[in-house]
Structure 1
Amino acid sequence: MTRFYLMRHGQTLFNTLNRIQGWCDSPLTEKGRDQARQVRAYFQKHYLTFDQYYCTTTERASDTLELATGQTDYHRVKGLKEMNFGIFEGQPEYLHPKTTIVGHFGDHYAQFGGESQDQFVARVVKSAREIVNKHPDQSILAVSHAGALMTFLHAVEPEREFQSCPGNCAILVFDYDGTDFHFIKLIDPIADREFSDF
C-alpha cells in the first residue's frame, strides 16, 4: 500500500491580503515560515518519515517543503499546482463567484484565460497518479495548494461533503492500492490533531 500525504503550503503574503493566488506566486510570511517549522516538529514528535518528497513549482510550496522537512533533494511538479485563474490572478478574493462546493468554480475562469474545473481536476488527479505509480509501497509527501487539495479530495471522495478548506500546512492523507485513492484523515500539524472528517 502506498501512502500519499498531500499538504498545503504555509501562509503567504497573498493569503494575508486576501488575493487570488493560483499560478501567480507570493512569498511565505514569517508566520508561514513558522508554520512550516511547526510541521517539522510534528513530524519529529510522531516519527513521521517519508520515502519521497514532491512539491509544486511555486516558491511558496518549495519553501514550505524545505522548512518542514529539511530536504533539498525533492521533485518539483507542475501538475499539482493551484488552479489557473487567468486574468483574475492577484485580484481580490471577493471577485470569486459564489459556489455551493468549496473551491469548485465550474467553467467560470476558462472564459478569462484560466482553467475550467474539469481541466483542473484532470491535471491534479493525473499528476497524483503519476507520482504514486512511480513509488509503489512507499510513503510520499507532496506540498501543494488549498484548491488542489480540495479538488483532489472531491475527485477521490465524490459522495462525501467536506465543509471547509484545509488551513495552511494541513495535510490530507490517502492510501493508494494500485488502482484507487482512499481518504484516511486530515492532519492539522499546527494544532497536533487529526480528523476523519472536516
Structure 2
Amino acid sequence: MIAIFLKGGLLMSELYLMRHSQTLFNKLHRIQGASDSPLTKQGIEDAKKVGAYFKQQGLKFDHAYSSTQERACDTLEFITAQPYTRLKGLKEWNFGVFEGQSEQLNPKDDSKRHSYGDFFLQFGGESDLQVQKRMNDTLTAIMSKPDHERVLAVSHGGACFMFLQKWLSYTEIRQRVTDFHNCCILKFTFTDDNFSFVKAINVKNF
C-alpha cells in the first residue's frame, strides 16, 4: 500500500491514465473506436519503454486496469506482468458505422463542446457526454476502492480526452497537454471524489 497524504491529513491517491500504444489503424489513420487492430512494432517498443520508465522511477502500482479492448490489454501486458482487471467502462468512444473508416470522415468539432458532440449518435455510436460520464463513473469507482493509492489504467484517446474535459477547461488542456499521442500518460490525484490533473508524461521524452 502506498499512503499519500495532503496537508491536514487528507488521503490522496494517484491515477496514471494512459492511452494505448500505436496500432495498425492508428498508423493507417482509420477510425478505431469500438473496433480493434493489433499493436505495431513501434507500439510494442513504446509500451516496453513505458514499463522501463516506471521501473526507473520506482513507480509501483497497487492495482492495474485496462479497457476490455485488445489493444489496451496488450499495451498493459507489455508494460508489466502485474495482474490487472478489464473494464468495459474504459473502452474507446463507439463511432457506430464509421468504425474502420478513414479518419477523413470524422466531423468537425462542435465549437462549444470542443469534441464530436452528438454526431455519432445518429449512426449507432455514442455522444461525447456519454463517453465522459462512463469514464468518470468508472475511474471514480476504481479510485474509491480501498488499497487503491496508486493505480495504472490503460484506455484510449477519445475516452481519455473526454475524461480530461471533465476536469480541465479546453483552454487548460491546450496549455498543459501539448502532446497527446499514443502511450501518453495523464497523471491525476484523487481525493473526495475529485480528480486534479498533475501532468502529461510522454514516451518520447523518456
Give the letter for the 1:180 counterpart. Answer: N
Sequence identity (%): 47
Instruction: Compute the displacement of 1:41 (Å).
Output: 1.0
In 2 relative to 1, CA 112–30 (structure 1 residues): closer, same or farther, beyond 3 Å? same
**d(CA) in 1 for partners of 2:194, 2:88:** 22
1:76 aligns with 2:90: no
**d(CA) in 1 for partners of 2:185, 2:146:** 19
- Which of these residues, 25, 38, 43, is aligned with residue 54 of structure 2? 43
**d(CA) in 2 for partners of 1:55, 1:67:** 12
Please name the residue that 2:7 is paired with: none
Give the letter for the 1:91 counterpart. Answer: Q
Please name the residue that 1:130 is paired with: 141
Instruction: Compute the displacement of 1:75 (Å).
Output: 0.4
Please name the residue that 2:108 is paired with: 98
- The alignment's TM-score, normalised by the length of structure 2, stands at 0.88
Please name the residue that 1:177 is paired with: 191
Give the letter for the 2:201 counterpart. Answer: I
Q: How does 1:133-144 map to 2 (within 5 A)?
A: 133-135=144-146, 138-144=149-155
Please name the residue that 2:36 is paired with: 25
In the alignment, is the contact (CA less than 8 A) between 2:68 and 2:91 conserved in 1?
yes
In the alignment, is the contact (CA less than 8 A) between 1:2 and 1:136 conserved in 2?
no
**d(CA) in 1 for partners of 2:112, 2:182:** 19
**Counterpart secondary structure, 2:78:** helix
Give the count of matched residue pairs: 191
Farther off after superposition, 8-17 or 101-110? 101-110
**Counterpart secondary structure, 1:186:** strand
Instruction: Compute the displacement of 1:96 (Å).
Output: 0.6
Give the letter for the 1:188 counterpart. Answer: N
**d(CA) in 2 for partners of 1:40, 1:65:** 9
Please name the residue that 1:196 is paired with: none
Please name the residue that 1:86 is paired with: 96
Instruction: Compute the displacement of 1:165 (Å).
Output: 5.7
**d(CA) in 1 for partners of 2:119, 2:202:** 31
Instruction: Compute the displacement of 1:189 (Å).
Output: 2.9
**d(CA) in 1 for partners of 2:66, 2:165:** 20
In 2 relative to 1, CA 24–159 (structure 1 residues): closer, same or farther, beyond 3 Å? closer
**Counterpart secondary structure, 1:26:** coil
Give CA-to-partner distance per residue, 1:109-160, whole Å, 9 cap, x none: 0000000111111111111111111145510000000111111111011364
Root mean square deviation of aligned Cα? 1.7
Instruction: Compute the displacement of 1:102 (Å).
Output: 9.3
User: Which blocks of at least 5 consecutive residues in structure 2 are unaligned?
Assistant: 1-11
Instruction: Compute the displacement of 1:44 (Å).
Output: 1.2
- Which of these residues, 154, 157, 164, is aligned with residue 168 of structure 2? 157
In 2 relative to 1, CA 102–45 (structure 1 residues): closer, same or farther, beyond 3 Å? farther
**Moved runs in structure 1, 4+ residues, more than 4 A?**
100-103
1:15 aligns with 2:26: yes
